């Protein structure tokens, strides 16, 4: 642009020089001619000299233009003079005056003259219908002279003559031609100046809008800056900016003249903005549109530019003018308004998305810290990256962040049994020795190398803030090699439920102890009395006391069973599974129950088809021994004895005197089936389901006095299920019952 400017300046300077000399020579002839035509006109020669002396200076354009105008008025005799240049977009702009609306090419006298490049002279403008009169009440004349160079219109010289002036100095074509020639140079410069200036102005306005949008100021202030810049850059007088409130969806005016006015809703606006989001003009709204908000305000011209935020209209720029100037805005100006609206729209998109990111972040932060479990994020070297409030509370204090601390420096694992030893604690003493901190560290090391999940496990830990029971587990975080985050540790504080559980257990053991002590005393003394430790008893005494002893025994069993049930329901029975010779243990159990078997004169057979042919012998002699290989099941020894005991005892109970009981041991691939078959009273089909329920007493028509607690089979079933086994029953009333138990086979034999 600069090069062109210099080029044109040089050109204009050269032309000036040439003009000065050429015009001086021609001046005499022309002035003679002029004098002939218009005797009263100013001296043409003088004009030529004045023109030659006139230097157009861009730097002081306004003054230069003023001088030019004065010259024109002086020599042409016009009462007023307007100089206009034509921009690239077909608009005629007044030169050297405060920016006003331009004339469109082809409209009005000036516009028409510029378009057709013809000199237009309108005498008595009021009578001409082609050109709308500019001065309705005055009679005068208008002259519009196009300034054309190489077929291109540069601008026009527009002159008005009052009635009086017209009489004195009618327009002189020769004089005007001299000015046209001069104006070519001037307008070329003005055009360049205008382009440069416009670009500069636009850049400045855009910059200040961008700056305002980035600055840390309120939205109202931003909008005000946008409004001021649009007004400064364009020729519109004012505008209002309306935006939709994100939450209430109400439209409110954030700046400009519209502040006091009524606001149209976006829905309504959506109808009028076309899909491309171009502006929409409303002409004489009061008549054309049934807008309540407009009718109150009378007629006017409204133009709206939508403000888009991601293809959604968020608001609009509203331009309201008394006369329809919008069409007269240059493309540049329109472009600028659109630019301002798109800048604002983009800003709003950014704002809402960044607001959303912050909100999202805040949301996750809130969740993170308000979870009732501790969450700790660890780096590869086991340093705490982040810990939530609960984790802080457990591992340190609410005020310490824990960040940067080594995870293992935050707690100690303690052995809960050290504080209150019980029988099980002695059992588990060496087991606890192993599961100390080193063990956990090893586990976590393994986790870090193999990246396997650490399954939830209970730990009792001592931290700065106290002692806690926790369930700890660990998971790998997102596998991003660049990420600092490596593992997530999840701590569930179960101290309270643990305390409740412990209370319950303590209560249970207390109750059991309290119940058992008197029962023990009764049992002890009864046995001593019956043992004749206190002297011989009469037959009657012995019989009665035997009954007392039996009742006491039932009470003992009942207490045991109730305790077993509560233990099962608390999920608190430890199974120490080991391979057990099922054949041997069955025989042992039968031996233990030998007295009852003999009492009822029952024949009991154990059949062990696969391995032990010698067990086919009828067990009549409790001291029977047989060195067999046996079948091994994986079970807890005591619990297995309880299961077998219950089943055999049941079979004995519900057998008739002289009945038969068959015990069959059938090993399979994964399970051993144990069948306990009696030919006793049996169970009705409809009662069979009830057998394994708690406290279920099944009415049997033969009313054999069984004297059970109604818990035996329930406990038996639960114990079998805990061993991953199963139990089923088949029975026919009066014919007998068969219980089938399946227990998992031991894959390995015991070492001994």
Partner 1 sequence: MRVKGEIKTMKQHILIVEDDNVLQEMYCEKFEMDGFKVEKAATGREGLKTLEKSVPDIILLDILMPDMNGLEMLKEMKKNRDFRDIPVILLTNLGESKIDMDSELSFALGIKDYLIKTKHTPDDVSKRVKQILKVEQLG
> What DSSP state is assigned to residue 151?
T
Q: For the chain, how are helix, strand and coil distributed in percent, rounded to 5? A: 50, 20, 30
CB of 746 to partner 1, least distance (A): 18
Residue 116 contacts partner 1 per CB under 8 A = no
CB of 422 to partner 1, least distance (A): 8
Residue 517 contacts partner 1 per CB under 8 A = yes
CB of 592 to partner 1, least distance (A): 12
* Long-range own/partner contacts, residues 345-349 (CB < 8 A, 24 or more apart): 345/307, 345/308, 345/309, 345/314, 346/309, 347/213, 347/222, 348/243, 348/307, 348/309, 348/314, 349/309, 349/310
Of the candidate residues 406, 576, 598, 601, the single one contacting partner 1 (CB under 8 A): 576
Residue 446: CB atoms within 10 A of its CB come to: 12
Distances (CA, A) of 201 to 3, 206, 235, 533: 20, 8, 13, 124
Name the token pair of 610. Answer: 């696969």
Residue 417: CB atoms within 10 A of its CB come to: 17
Of the candidate residues 15, 128, 351, 560, the single one contacting partner 1 (CB under 8 A): 560
Q: Which is nearer to partner 1, 278 or 547 (CB)?
A: 547
Of the candidate residues 516, 600, 660, 684, the single one contacting partner 1 (CB under 8 A): 516
Q: Which is nearer to partner 1, 150 or 531 (CB)?
A: 531
Of the candidate residues 202, 320, 564, 679, the single one contacting partner 1 (CB under 8 A): 564
Q: Which residues contact 460 (CB under 8 A, 6 or more apart)?
A: 413, 414, 415, 416, 467, 468, 469, 470
Residue 422: CB atoms within 10 A of its CB come to: 12
CB of 672 to partner 1, least distance (A): 22
* 5 CB burial (10 A radius; 0-12, 13-18, 19+): middle
CB of 693 to partner 1, least distance (A): 22
Residues 289, 286: Cα–Cα separation, whole Å = 6
Stretch that binds partner 1, among 253-261, 422-430, 661-669, 687-695 (CB under 8 A): 422-430
Name the token pair of 33. Answer: 């001619």
Q: Which is nearer to partner 1, 372 or 430 (CB)?
A: 430
Residue 601 contacts partner 1 per CB under 8 A = no
Residues 605-644 as x/- pattern, contact with partner 1 by CB under 8 A: --------------------------------xx--xx--
Q: Which is nearer to partner 1, 421 or 456 (CB)?
A: 421
| Strand 454-463 relative to strand 240-244, pairing | unpaired
CB of 519 to partner 1, least distance (A): 5
Residue 17 contacts partner 1 per CB under 8 A = no
Contact 104, 111 (CB under 8 A): yes
Query: How many residues make contact with partner 1 (CB under 8 A)?
Result: 37
Q: Which is nearer to partner 1, 544 or 574 (CB)?
A: 574
Contact 733, 687 (CB under 8 A): no
List the beta strands (DSSP E) in 44-177: 80-86, 91-94, 103-104, 120-123, 140-149, 152-162
Tokens 């990256």 appear where? 385
Residues 451, 455: Cα–Cα separation, whole Å = 12
Of the candidate residues 512, 664, 688, 724, the single one contacting partner 1 (CB under 8 A): 512
Question: Of the candidates 453, 456, 474, 452, which has an alpha carbon nearest to the alpha carbon of residue 408?
Answer: 474
Q: Which is nearer to partner 1, 429 or 702 (CB)?
A: 429
Stretch that binds partner 1, among 61-69, 91-99, 306-314, 512-520 (CB under 8 A): 512-520
Residues 714, 691: Cα–Cα separation, whole Å = 8
Residues 520-539 as x/- pattern, contact with partner 1 by CB under 8 A: xx-xxx-xx--x-x------
Contact 587, 606 (CB under 8 A): yes
CB of 392 to partner 1, least distance (A): 38
Q: Which is nearer to partner 1, 219 or 556 (CB)?
A: 556
Q: Which is nearer to partner 1, 351 or 553 (CB)?
A: 553
Q: Which is nearer to partner 1, 120 or 633 (CB)?
A: 633
Q: Which residues of 164-175 are buried (b: 16+ CB within 10 A; e: fewer)?
A: ebbeebbbbeeb
Residue 518 contacts partner 1 per CB under 8 A = yes
Stretch that binds partner 1, among 166-174, 226-234, 405-413, 425-433 (CB under 8 A): 425-433
Q: Which is nearer to partner 1, 60 or 527 (CB)?
A: 527
Residue 508 contacts partner 1 per CB under 8 A = yes
> What DSSP state is assigned to residue 614?
G
Of the candidate residues 423, 478, 751, 752, the single one contacting partner 1 (CB under 8 A): 423
CB of 427 to partner 1, least distance (A): 6
The three-class DSSP label of residue 520 is helix
Q: Which is nearer to partner 1, 58 or 555 (CB)?
A: 555
Q: Which is nearer to partner 1, 220 or 506 (CB)?
A: 506
The three-class DSSP label of residue 335 is helix
Stretch that binds partner 1, among 225-233, 393-401, 553-561, 607-615 (CB under 8 A): 553-561
Q: Which is nearer to partner 1, 293 or 507 (CB)?
A: 507
Contact 126, 133 (CB under 8 A): yes
Q: Which residues bind partner 1 (CB under 8 A)?
A: 421-427, 429-430, 508-509, 512-513, 516-521, 523-525, 527-528, 531, 533, 556, 559-560, 563-564, 567, 576, 637-638, 641-642
């Amino acid at each position: 642009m600069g090069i062109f400017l210099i080029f044109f300046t040089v050109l204009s300077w050269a032309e000036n020089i040439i003009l000065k000399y050429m015009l001086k020579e021609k001046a005499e002839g022309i002035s003679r001619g002029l004098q002939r035509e218009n005797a009263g006109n100013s001296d043409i020669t003088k004009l030529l000299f004045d023109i030659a002396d006139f230097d157009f200076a861009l730097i002081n354009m306004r003054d230069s233009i003023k001088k030019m105008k004065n010259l024109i008025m002086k020599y042409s005799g016009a009462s007023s003079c307007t100089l206009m240049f034509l921009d690239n977009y077909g608009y005629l702009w007044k030169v050297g005056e405060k920016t006003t609306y331009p004339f469109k090419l082809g409209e009005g006298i000036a516009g028409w003259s510029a378009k057709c490049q013809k000199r237009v002279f309108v005498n008595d403008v009021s009578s001409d219908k082609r050109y709308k009169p500019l001065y309705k009440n005055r009679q005068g004349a208008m002259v519009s002279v196009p300034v054309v160079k190489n077929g291109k219109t540069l601008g026009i010289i527009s002159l008005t003559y009052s009635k009086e002036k017209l009489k004195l100095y009618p327009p002189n074509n020769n004089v005007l031609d001299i000015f046209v020639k001069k104006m070519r140079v001037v307008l070329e410069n003005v055009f360049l100046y205008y382009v440069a200036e416009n670009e500069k102005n636009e850049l400045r306005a855009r910059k200040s809008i961008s700056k305002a949008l980035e600055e840390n100021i309120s939205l109202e202030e931003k909008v005000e800056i946008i409004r001021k810049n649009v007004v400064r850059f364009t020729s519109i007088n004012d505008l209002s900016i309306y935006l939709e409130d994100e939450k209430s969806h109400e439209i409110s005016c954030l700046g400009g003249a519209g502040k006091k006015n009524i606001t149209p809703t976006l829905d309504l606006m959506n109808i009028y903005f076309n899909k491309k989001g171009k502006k929409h003009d409303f002409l004489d709204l009061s008549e054309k549109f049934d807008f309540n908000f407009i009718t109150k305000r009378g007629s006017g011209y409204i133009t709206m530019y939508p403000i888009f935020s991601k293809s959604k209209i968020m608001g609009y720029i509203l331009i309201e003018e008394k006369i329809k100037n919008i069409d007269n805005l240059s493309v540049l100006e329109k472009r600028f308004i659109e630019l301002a609206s798109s800048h604002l729209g983009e800003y709003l998109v950014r704002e809402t998305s960044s607001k959303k990111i912050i909100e999202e972040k805040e949301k996750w932060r809130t969740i993170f810290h308000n979870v009732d479990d501790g969450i700790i994020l660890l780096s590869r070297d086991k340093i705490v990256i982040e810990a939530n409030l609960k984790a802080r509370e457990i591992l340190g204090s609410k005020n310490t962040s824990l960040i940067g601390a080594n995870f293992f420096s935050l707690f100690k694992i303690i052995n809960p049994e050290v504080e209150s030893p019980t029988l099980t604690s002695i059992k588990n003493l060496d087991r606890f020795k192993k599961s100390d901190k080193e063990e956990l560290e090893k586990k976590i090391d393994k986790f870090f190398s193999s990246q396997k999940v650490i399954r939830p496990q209970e730990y009792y830990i001592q931290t700065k803030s106290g002692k806690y029971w926790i369930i700890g587990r660990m998971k790998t975080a997102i596998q991003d090699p660049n990420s600092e985050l490596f593992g997530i540790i999840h701590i569930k504080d179960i101290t309270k439920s643990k305390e409740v559980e412990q209370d319950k257990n303590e209560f249970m053991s207390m109750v059991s102890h309290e119940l058992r002590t008197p029962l023990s005393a009764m049992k002890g003394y009864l046995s001593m009395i019956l043992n004749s430790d206190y002297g011989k008893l009469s037959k009657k005494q012995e019989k009665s006391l035997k009954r007392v002893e039996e009742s006491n025994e039932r009470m003992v069993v009942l207490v045991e069973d109730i305790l077993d049930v509560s233990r099962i329901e608390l999920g608190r029975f430890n199974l120490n599974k080991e391979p057990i010779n099922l054949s041997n243990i069955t025989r042992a159990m039968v031996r233990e129950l030998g007295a009852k078997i003999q009492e009822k004169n029952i024949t009991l057979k154990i059949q062990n088809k696969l391995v032990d042919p010698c067990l086919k012998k009828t067990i009549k002699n409790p001291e029977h021994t047989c060195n067999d290989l046996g079948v091994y099941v994986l079970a807890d020894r005591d619990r297995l004895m309880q299961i077998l005991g219950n089943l055999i005892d049941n079979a004995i109970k519900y057998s008739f005197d002289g009945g038969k009981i068959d015990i069959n041991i059938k090993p399979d691939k994964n399970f051993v089936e144990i069948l306990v078959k009696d030919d006793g009273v049996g169970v009705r089909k409809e009662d069979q389901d009830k057998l394994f329920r708690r406290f279920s007493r099944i009415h049997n028509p033969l009313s054999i006095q069984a004297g059970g607690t109604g818990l035996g089979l329930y406990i038996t079933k639960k114990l079998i299920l805990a061993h991953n086994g199963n139990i089923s029953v088949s029975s026919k009333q009066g014919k007998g019952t068969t219980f089938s138990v399946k227990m998992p086979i031991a894959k390995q034999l015991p070492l001994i």
